[in-house]
Amino acid sequence: YPERIAAYGGNSIRTWGTADAPKVLAAANKNHLTVMLGLDVARERHGFDYNDASSVADQLEKIKAEVLKYKDDPA
């Protein structure tokens, strides 16, 4: 659908995660679109304990790795 977004005058795509990021970024680049990749941050209402320093540190490292992996993509 990126072709349709560009054809209708759109300029950006927002995702809910990074699972398909390489595919989404490639399609966006091909169609001159930008991408806002969603990063999965754990929620307390789903059981994540922000008082657990080890879990918080693990989550931070995971998010940092995703940011570093995709930060230089033109999209």
Chunked in runs of 10, what are the mean pLDDT values of the chain (75 residues)?
Answer: 95 95 97 96 96 98 97 96
List the domain boundaries for the chain: 2-70
Q: What is the pLDDT of residue 3?
A: 94
Q: What is the pLDDT of residue 42?
A: 95
Q: What is the pLDDT of residue 13?
A: 96
Tell me phi and psi for residue 40, to 5 degrees: -80, 115
Cα 38 from chain centre: 3
Q: What is the pLDDT of residue 55?
A: 98
